[in-house]
């Protein structure tokens, strides 16, 4: 049986409910571009909100981490991965969590105890040594020598603020020799396979730590890594997850995997991630900003390696590879099959675009070397940044002409650029939803009001297509076939402000999905909601399926001002709006329950 199925079945047998994988692009959480962990979509619940599925949850979650994008090409790095997770929302804590992890690994996966080692939180100035976890592991038969106490590596937080806590990590011996008696955390043969975080704290945006209303458990296990371990391969790309993809790349290029590993891994990894991004409900397409830019880099890097392997760029590789990757995952993520045509078209269009800049970049390159026998860092970075040339392409071209490239200079420019975008990102996302900032909660409620106002003024055919919130503004995309007139914009703005002035209460109800839809509740993507949903209502003017959080009363919002109305894509308009002079808010919404 597949690892994902074994995991879900096991935790269901321990009273957990399976929750669906959330989209890879978080909704209403501007603190990250992509979900980086299974817990990310659960932040409001870890912060104390009631989850409609109860207090014991499990799932497999689509995740994307791009910090190590440049490392992809080795045996272990991936940009997309699936994370298995189980959560306790104020239910069980350390003892049960550790016991079940141990049971799953040794009884279900039949992993030899002698190949396991553990780290536990050693304590720091604020939080004491995690004695409970330490003793629990001892009681399960892990020897003292195999339990390491560390501080820095045993505290988990998704970003700079939000729910967090000490963790205990489980390691597996992947070396070919017998595992040593003593666990040396710096020995790379020990690989981390599971992380159990005991989320008791919240790191506030001012850096202080406070206690969460409940003690939670958040665990995460990487599917790719554990599959490789179970299949006894020391290269993740040799596991059954990748086999069909690598075989196809090998066939398309007429080359063996051995000797061409790097390019084949990059193609396989980057295309898989691109496919998941394109299929996401957020409808991301290659662009030069945010998620779209990551998507562009992934596709272009994959194309570059497709060329390296000598695969004809104009052959139908994008369709064949999409086909095989979609087949691999469609059972778990049906959206891939539904969006297959879109995925293939998007890859095709980007391929054609890259081919064009590639030609222009080559001209620039030729011109530059007419007068010089050296490519400095600025030019190498310009080729990378403007023409989408990865450094290795520039180096390769230069080599053919016996010209050297200032690689260090390129790295320097690259780092400066990264630093700039990091700072920009940090500024932009300062205090995301993870920090649960009041203003973002207000914008979230304003989003519902705007959605309702557009329906009244423009027409019932208006539907939400996306939204994005920062602490400075809200952005709302909606289906509409025309540019809004000034009068329409004014009417929408006035109506939202009228509702704010009316001090409408915001209430939340849990109910079965079918019933919620019958009552006419709005929702963006019905397939992604669980069977029991939360419905937020604002007076009797708005009703939406939503995970919250929201303010209690519209009077907290202040004045709503539309700053811009523009086209987002064909048939989709975008409004940017701000709130001014809002009063301090209370998170939640009065809770009512169906009897
Ligand atoms: N959030 C933790 C992690 O990503 C455990 O799930 O490692």
CATH number at 155 reads 3.30.930.10
**196-235: per-residue pLDDT in tens?**
999 999 998 888 889 999 999 999 999 999 999 999 999 9
3-state class of 588 per DSSP? coil
If asked whether residues 415 and 541 sit together in one domain, one would say no
Average pLDDT over residues 58-77: 91
If asked whether residues 253 and 301 sit together in one domain, one would say yes
**492-509: per-residue pLDDT in tens?**
999 999 999 999 989 877
Assigned domain for 364 exists: no
If asked whether residues 427 and 448 sit together in one domain, one would say no
Positions of E strands within 396-515: 404-405, 464-469, 474-479, 506-512
Total count of domains within the chain: 4
Q: Which helix (DSSP H) or strand (DSSP E) does residue 113 occupy?
A: none
Q: Is 217 in the pocket of ligand 1 (CB under 6 A)?
A: no
Average pLDDT over residues 568-576: 85
If asked whether residues 575 and 500 sit together in one domain, one would say yes
If asked whether residues 409 and 442 sit together in one domain, one would say no
CA 199/CA 87 separation, integer angstroms: 10
- Give the pLDDT of residue 471: 76
Pocket mutation for ligand 1, best pick of 220, 222, 223, 224 (most atoms within 8 Å of C-beta)? 220
Assigned domain for 461 exists: yes
Q: Is 197 in the pocket of ligand 1 (CB under 6 A)?
A: yes
Question: Which residues constitute the domain of residue 272?
Answer: 242-359
**17 has which bridge partners?**
57
Atom of ligand 1 nearest to the CA of 158: 1
**448-494: per-residue pLDDT in tens?**
999 999 999 999 888 888 788 877 889 998 889 899 999 999 999 99
- 431: pLDDT strictly greater than 50: no
Assigned domain for 131 exists: yes
Q: What are phi and psi of 168, to 5 degrees?
A: -125, 130
- 429: pLDDT strictly greater than 50: no
If asked whether residues 173 and 298 sit together in one domain, one would say no
Average pLDDT over residues 535-563: 87
Q: How many CA atoms lie within 13 A of 124 on its CB side?
A: 12
If asked whether residues 532 and 501 sit together in one domain, one would say yes
- Least trusted range by pLDDT, from 108-122, 161-175, 388-402, 486-500: 388-402
Assigned domain for 181 exists: yes
If asked whether residues 232 and 274 sit together in one domain, one would say no
- Give the pLDDT of residue 530: 59
- Give the pLDDT of residue 356: 82
**92: alpha, beta or left, given left = phi > 0 and alpha = psi -120 to 50?**
beta
- Give the pLDDT of residue 424: 55
- Give the pLDDT of residue 513: 72
Question: Contact 437/205 with Cβ under 8 angstroms?
Answer: yes
Which of residues 209, 236, 263 is at a domain's end? 236
How many residues would you count in the chain? Answer: 595
If asked whether residues 400 and 339 sit together in one domain, one would say no
Question: Contact 217/86 with Cβ under 8 angstroms?
Answer: yes
If asked whether residues 214 and 255 sit together in one domain, one would say no
Average pLDDT over residues 304-325: 94
What CATH number did the domain enclosing 528 receive?
Answer: 3.30.980.10
Assigned domain for 492 exists: yes
Assigned domain for 80 exists: yes
User: Residue 169 C-alpha to ligand 1 middle, in angstroms?
Assistant: 10
Which of residues 409, 431, 453 is at a domain's end? 431
If asked whether residues 290 and 344 sit together in one domain, one would say yes
Nearest CA to ligand 1 atom 6: 220
Class of residue 516 by CB neighbours under 10 A (exposed 0-12, middle 13-18, buried 19+) = buried
Ranges 39-48, 411-420, 510-519, most confident: 39-48
**248-277: per-residue pLDDT in tens?**
999 999 999 999 999 999 999 999 999 999
Q: Is 166 in the pocket of ligand 1 (CB under 6 A)?
A: no
- Least trusted range by pLDDT, from 89-93, 336-340, 362-366: 362-366
User: Residue 88 C-alpha to ligand 1 middle, in angstroms?
Assistant: 13
Give me the percent of the chain exceeding a pLDDT of 90: 64
CA 218/CA 92 separation, integer angstroms: 11
If asked whether residues 396 and 528 sit together in one domain, one would say no
């Amino acid at each position: 049986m597949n690892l994902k199925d074994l995991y879900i079945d096991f935790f269901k047998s321990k009273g957990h409910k399976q929750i669906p994988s959330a989209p890879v692009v978080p909704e209403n959480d501007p603190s990250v571009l992509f979900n980086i962990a299974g817990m990310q979509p659960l932040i409001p619940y870890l912060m104390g909100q009631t989850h409609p599925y109860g207090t014991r949850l499990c799932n497999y979650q689509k995740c994307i981490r791009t910090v190590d994008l440049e490392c992809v090409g080795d045996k272990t790095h991936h940009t997309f991965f699936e994370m298995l997770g189980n959560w306790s929302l104020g239910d069980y804590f350390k003892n049960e969590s550790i016991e079940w992890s141990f049971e799953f690994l040794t009884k279900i996966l039949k992993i030899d105890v002698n190949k396991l080692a553990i780290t536990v939180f050693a304590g720091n100035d604020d939080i004491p040594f995690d004695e409970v976890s330490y003793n629990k592991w001892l009681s399960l038969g892990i020897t003292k020598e195999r339990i390491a106490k560390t501080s820095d590596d045993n505290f988990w937080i998704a970003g700079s603020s939000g729910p967090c806590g000490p963790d205990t990590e489980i390691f597996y011996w992947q070396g070919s020799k017998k595992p040593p008696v003593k666990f040396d955390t710096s020995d790379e043969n020990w690989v981390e396979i599971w992380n159990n975080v005991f989320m008791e704290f919240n790191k506030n945006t001012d850096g202080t730590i406070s206690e969460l209303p409940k003690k939670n458990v958040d665990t995460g296990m990487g599917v790719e890594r554990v599959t490789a371990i179970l299949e006894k391969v020391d290269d993740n790309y040799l596991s059954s997850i990748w086999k069909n993809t690598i075989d196809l790349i090998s066939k398309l290029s007429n080359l063996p995997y051995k000797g061409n590993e790097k390019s084949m891994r990059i193609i396989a990894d980057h295309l898989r991630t691109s496919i998941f991004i394109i299929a996401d409900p957020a409808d991301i397409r290659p662009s030069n900003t945010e998620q779209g830019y990551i998507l562009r880099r992934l596709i272009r890097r994959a194309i570059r390696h497709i060329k390296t392997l000598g695969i004809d760029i104009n052959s139908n590789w994008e369709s064949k590879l999409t086909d095989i990757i979609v087949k691999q995952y469609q059972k778990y993520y049906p959206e891939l099959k539904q969006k297959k045509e879109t995925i293939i078209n998007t890859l095709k269009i980007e391929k054609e675009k890259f081919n064009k800049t590639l030609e222009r970049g080559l001209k620039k390159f030729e011109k530059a070397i007419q007068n010089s026998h050296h490519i400095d860092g600025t030019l190498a970075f310009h080729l990378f940044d403007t023409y989408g040339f990865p450094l290795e392409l520039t180096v390769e071209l230069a080599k053919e002409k016996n010209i050297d490239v200032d690689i260090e200079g390129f790295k320097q420019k690259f780092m400066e650029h990264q630093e700039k975008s990091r700072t920009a990102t940090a500024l932009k996302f300062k205090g995301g939803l993870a920090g649960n900032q009041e203003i973002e909660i207000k914008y979230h409620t304003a989003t519902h009001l705007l959605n309702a106002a557009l329906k009244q003024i423009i027409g019932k055919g208006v539907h939400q297509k996306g939204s994005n919130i920062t602490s400075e503004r809200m952005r709302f995309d909606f289906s509409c076939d025309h540019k809004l007139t000034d009068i329409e914009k004014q009417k929408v703005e006035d109506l939202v402000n009228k509702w704010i002035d009316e001090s409408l209460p915001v209430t939340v109800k849990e109910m079965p999905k079918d019933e919620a839809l019958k009552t006419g509740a709005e929702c963006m993507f019905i397939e992604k909601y669980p069977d029991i949903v939360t419905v937020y209502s604002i007076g009797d003017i708005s009703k939406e399926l939503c995970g919250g959080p929201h303010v209690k009363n519209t009077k907290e919002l202040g004045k709503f001002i539309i700053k811009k109305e523009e086209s987002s894509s064909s048939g989709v308009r975008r409004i940017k709006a701000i709130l001014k002079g809002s009063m301090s808010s209370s998170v939640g919404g009065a809770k009512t329950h169906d009897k």
